A and B are shown apart, each in its own frame.
Chain A
Amino acid sequence: MASFFTIGYRTVSLANINKYDEATKVIKNNDTSSYIKKNVARGDIFDRNKNLLATTIDISSLSINPQNILNKKETISKLKIIFPSINETILLKKINTTKNQINLIREITPKDHVDVLKAGIEGIIIEKKNKRVYPGNSLASHILGNTDIDGKGTAGIEKSFDNKLLNGQDVNLSIHAGVQHILKTVLSEQISKFEAEGGAGVIMNVNSGEIYALASFPDYNANNYRKSSDEQLFNRASKGTYELGSTLKLITAAIAYESKLIKETDLFDVSKPLKISSRIINDDHALKLAINIPEIIVHSSNIGSALIAEKIGPDIQLKFLKKLGLFDTVKLEIPEIGKPQIITDKKKISTMTISYGHGISITPVHLSAATASIINGGLKVSPTLIKNSLKNIKKKRIFSNNTSTEMKNIMRLVVSNRYGTGKKAEAPGYLVGGKTGTADKVKKSGGYFKNKNIVAFTGGFPINEPKFVITVMIDNPKGQKFSHRSTAGWIAAPVISKLVTRIAPILGINPQTDKTLAFTNQLLKYKIRGDEL
């Protein structure tokens, strides 16, 4: 009986499934389900319509183990047939080594992979690696950023959302690929046309703060960022701070209305230059009369703006600038954000110059957010690059609805009135409103360039019921024969016209013929006077 049990036990034990046996080990090593769990691919980045902006693909890299090569000459000649660019002398030097692995080509195509296997080359090692790719090339390079050789985010969304992406989670941006492309195309055409050093543009939803497009020039191909210069990698839209000139007059006017220290009928004498200590404030087109706030904005009078600021005083001015977020870095979801520089000494001359955009350097994103707050009914807007991220956040009120309405009217007059500086921003079928700004460019060492300037435009459309704000900035454009002057009215305003005409249909904003008429009629109450007087 005992012998039966012994034989029986041994038979069963031989047949039993032993988890440590060799065959099972091999299978376990090939068990890819555990591999899938451990090696989660980096998450993808999409635009607001689920268009792929960044993803990770598998690539093959080619190495060789010199110790496994019997015939070096034959190996080199076989490799040369498949990869003609290989230098035979250098390769021979490389494989005459005691090392066990020499990297040959970092990335080979699937066809090369097959050819290498078919050729039966001695000592060859083909390894699978991950590669981050950006199908749009330069479409949104400053937003997306990059990853380093180990797949770690080094800039842009890739850096800010590194942990999320490393865990395999996707990121959905607020960017609209179509609108982004149009902004880049129109802006780059204008930069080339006026031989400018660069530029930036932002298109943002006035209520949610979602950025639909953000461009910076010069730009770079995200797939090739290691070969890009610092100048190309620099994000002028969110990191570069600039004196954006008269666009700041919008804020001055809005503060004036909101503070109730100035009535719409109050007049400011702009016929003579203002002399404050050693500094003289004057206008490009001197008007020989006293004008009100709408006229100051339409004519873009520095003197008028300075006089408004004098009446408001530095405390109220700085309080509102702080409320608008112009003292702080904008809370955008990328690391490339610039801190504004503002003179806060409360001197009379500082208060006056800040009112027309001198002595205050901000990013184009700051200006977009401030413009949005002025035209959206007066609520503070926090710009975001993430879709629906700020949907349920309660917004703080900065300006009253009345101030906002008044400002929308004035911004429309800047574009529609015969004396307006932004006439070239007019887009047929749509009501565009905004403000131009031309400022001397600030030197890095301090002071201003005499012959270099920054031109900008910030505005909204449709200005009667604003949905989007557009801000563009062009750095050091050169005046051309056809443009007469290198001012924002000639250079930045036409960009807005082209942009609105092209993006409005894509964003589902129909031409508003009926509403246009009603809105335009109510603007007749503003009597804008000009040179004829």
Chain B
Amino acid sequence: MIRYPSFSFVFFIIFIAISLYQIKYFILKREVELAKINQDIMLTKSDINILRAELNYLKRPDRIEKLAIEKLNMRPILPIDIWNIEDLVSTQNIINNGELL
């Protein structure tokens, strides 16, 4: 004869077993996801590293200088190109006051 407490005990055990089964596979799934994310991070880091190396290869001073001269008609800064801000202001004042005319 199966009594009420025994019945509920069996029910409880089945419930625990199913729950543990669910938890186990939930965690396994998450661990696989985590491993995949870690792998993605590694690959992305590797990609970033390659891109960083490429960027630094492309912005080599000799290349930038060559491009600036050839494509932008630029030239290296000379001392004559450097002005103090006060000198610029006083020159502007002279121009504004028409003193140069």
Sorting the interface of chain A by its residue count into under 10, 10 to 19, 20 to 34 or 35 or more gives 35 or more
Chain A residues within 8 Å of B59, by CB: 51
- CA A23 – CA B30 in complex, angstroms? 13
Chain A residues within 8 Å of B1, by CB: none
Q: Which of A27-35, A275-283, A300-308, A414-422 contacts B (4 or more CB under 8 A)?
A: A27-35
**Beyond A30-B39, A502-B76, A505-B82, is A133–B21 a contact (Cβ under 8 Å)?**
no
Query: Residue B35 contacts which of A30, A178, A501 (CB distance < 8 angstroms)?
Result: A30
Which positions 426-440 of chain A face chain B at CB distance < 8 Å? 427-430
- CA A312 – CA B9 in complex, angstroms? 107
- CA A510 – CA B50 in complex, angstroms? 38
A504 within 8 A of B: yes
A11 within 8 A of B: yes
- CA A27 – CA B25 in complex, angstroms? 12
Which positions 49-101 of chain B face chain A at CB distance < 8 Å? 49-50, 52-54, 56-57, 59-62, 65, 76-82, 84
- CA A165 – CA B56 in complex, angstroms? 19
**Beyond A12-B16, A135-B60, is A36–B80 a contact (Cβ under 8 Å)?**
no
- CA A427 – CA B77 in complex, angstroms? 13
Give the residue name and chain of the A residue nearest to B60 (CB): A136
Which positions 474-524 of chain A face chain B at CB distance < 8 Å? 501-502, 504-506, 510-511
Q: B14–A11 contact, CB under 8 A?
A: yes
Contact bitstring B11-28, A, C-beta under 8 A = 1, else 0: 001101110110110011
- CA A11 – CA B79 in complex, angstroms? 86
Q: A36–B82 contact, CB under 8 A?
A: no
**Beyond A430-B79, A502-B76, A511-B79, is A11–B35 a contact (Cβ under 8 Å)?**
no
Give the residue name and chain of the A residue nearest to B81 (CB): A505
Give the residue name and chain of the B residue nearest to A1 (CB): B6
Contact bitstring A270-314, B, C-beta under 8 A = 1, else 0: 000000000000000000000000000000000000000000000
Provide 12 A-B residue pairs closer than 8 Å at the C-beta atoms, listed in order of the A residue: A7-B13, A14-B17, A17-B24, A27-B32, A31-B34, A32-B41, A33-B38, A36-B41, A52-B52, A136-B56, A136-B57, A181-B60
**Beyond A31-B35, A56-B49, A57-B50, is A181–B65 a contact (Cβ under 8 Å)?**
yes
- CA A11 – CA B42 in complex, angstroms? 40
- CA A178 – CA B59 in complex, angstroms? 11
Query: Residue A12 contacts which of B13, B57, B79 (CB distance < 8 angstroms)?
Result: B13
Contact bitstring A17-58, B, C-beta under 8 A = 1, else 0: 100000110010011110110000100000000011101111
B81 to chain A, nearest CB (A): 7
Give the residue name and chain of the A residue nearest to B17 (CB): A11
- CA A377 – CA B60 in complex, angstroms? 36
- CA A181 – CA B64 in complex, angstroms? 11
Give the residue name and chain of the A residue nearest to B51 (CB): A57
Chain A residues within 8 Å of B56, by CB: 51-53, 55, 135-136
Chain B residues within 8 Å of A31, by CB: 31, 34-35, 38
- CA A36 – CA B27 in complex, angstroms? 22
What 3 pairs between A and B have smallest CB-CB spacing?
A: A429-B79, A181-B61, A135-B56
A509 to chain B, nearest CB (A): 9
Q: A429–B80 contact, CB under 8 A?
A: yes
The main secondary structure of chain B at its interface with chain A is: helix
Query: Residue B42 contacts which of A15, A32, A57, A182 (CB distance < 8 angstroms)?
Result: A32
Chain A residues within 8 Å of B34, by CB: 31, 33
B34 to chain A, nearest CB (A): 8
Q: A24–B28 contact, CB under 8 A?
A: yes
A137 within 8 A of B: yes
A103 within 8 A of B: no
Give the residue name and chain of the B residue nearest to A110 (CB): B50
B24 to chain A, nearest CB (A): 5
Q: B53–A133 contact, CB under 8 A?
A: yes
Chain A residues within 8 Å of B65, by CB: 181, 185
A139 within 8 A of B: yes
**Beyond A12-B13, A58-B46, is A32–B35 a contact (Cβ under 8 Å)?**
yes
Q: B82–A12 contact, CB under 8 A?
A: no
Query: Residue A181 contacts which of B17, B27, B31, B62 (CB distance < 8 angstroms)?
Result: B62
**Beyond A504-B79, A510-B82, is A135–B24 a contact (Cβ under 8 Å)?**
no
A177 within 8 A of B: yes
Give the residue name and chain of the B residue nearest to A23 (CB): B28
Contact bitstring A161-176, B, C-beta under 8 A = 1, else 0: 0000000000000000
- CA A23 – CA B76 in complex, angstroms? 64
Chain A residues within 8 Å of B14, by CB: 11
Chain B residues within 8 Å of A27, by CB: 28, 31-32, 35
Q: B57–A135 contact, CB under 8 A?
A: yes
Q: A185–B62 contact, CB under 8 A?
A: yes
Q: B53–A36 contact, CB under 8 A?
A: no
Give the residue name and chain of the B residue nearest to A511 (CB): B79
Give the residue name and chain of the B residue nearest to A27 (CB): B31
Chain A residues within 8 Å of B6, by CB: 1, 4
Give the residue name and chain of the B residue nearest to A181 (CB): B61
A8 within 8 A of B: yes
- Among B59, B78, B79, B84, which residue has the most Cβ atoms of chain A within 10 A? B79
Q: B39–A501 contact, CB under 8 A?
A: no
Give the residue name and chain of the B residue nearest to A8 (CB): B13
Chain B residues within 8 Å of A1, by CB: 6
**Beyond A135-B53, A505-B77, is A15–B17 a contact (Cβ under 8 Å)?**
yes
Chain A residues within 8 Å of B31, by CB: 24, 27, 31
- Among B6, B32, B52, B56, which residue has the most Cβ atoms of chain A within 10 A? B56
Q: B28–A505 contact, CB under 8 A?
A: no
A392 within 8 A of B: no
A163 to chain B, nearest CB (A): 21
Q: A4–B10 contact, CB under 8 A?
A: yes
Q: A12–B17 contact, CB under 8 A?
A: yes
- CA A351 – CA B27 in complex, angstroms? 83
